[in-house]
Amino acid sequence: QVQLVESGGGLVQAGGFLRLSCAASGRTFRNAMGWFRQAPGKERKFVSAISWSSRSTSYADSVKGRFTISRDNAKNTVYLQMNSLKPEDTAVYYCAVSTKGWGTMINVEYEYDYWGQGTQVTVSS
């Protein structure tokens, strides 16, 4: 079993930045990892994903050029650097693991097997 714990969320002003972390325990060897977010009253949506080797990354159009995903396999941790934050980025952010590895469907929720509890990000205008 894999357990994931997100941290780094908080309240920031528009134009500010945050760095989210997701620490994993249990087996994550050769797994892809990703971030999703869910705003109040809305569906959970894909944000970004990264392969085990970090050779492949993917971003939602809404965050391209502003967010950067990375991972440190020695620490079993994935990060999401969020810059130039907008009020539309306000959401609960979830970390997830896909045991299927990297593929064409890494932006789809059902590709992921394990989920963290989420961390709140609020961006004020």
- 55-103-22 Cα angle (round to 5): 65
With a cut of 90, say whether residue 57 has pLDDT above it.
Answer: yes
Contact 23, 76 (CB under 8 A): yes
The sign of the torsion formed by the CA atoms of 11, 124, 77, 26 equals positive
Distance between CA atoms of 67 and 19, rounded to whole angstroms? Answer: 9
What is the pLDDT, as a whole number, of residue 112? 96
What is the pLDDT, as a whole number, of residue 16? 98
As a whole number, the mean pLDDT across the chain is 95
Distance between CA atoms of 69 and 8, rounded to whole angstroms? Answer: 14
Average pLDDT, integer, range 36-40: 97
With a cut of 90, say whether residue 1 has pLDDT above it.
Answer: no
Distance between CA atoms of 43 and 33, rounded to whole angstroms? Answer: 20
Average pLDDT, integer, range 2-27: 95
With a cut of 80, say whether residue 28 has pLDDT above it.
Answer: no
Interval 58-98: pLDDT, tens: 999 999 999 999 999 999 999 999 999 999 999 999 999 99
What is the pLDDT, as a whole number, of residue 26? 80
Would you give the distance in Å from CA 18 to the centre of its chain? 12
Distance between CA atoms of 41 and 105, rounded to whole angstroms? Answer: 25
With a cut of 90, say whether residue 101 has pLDDT above it.
Answer: no
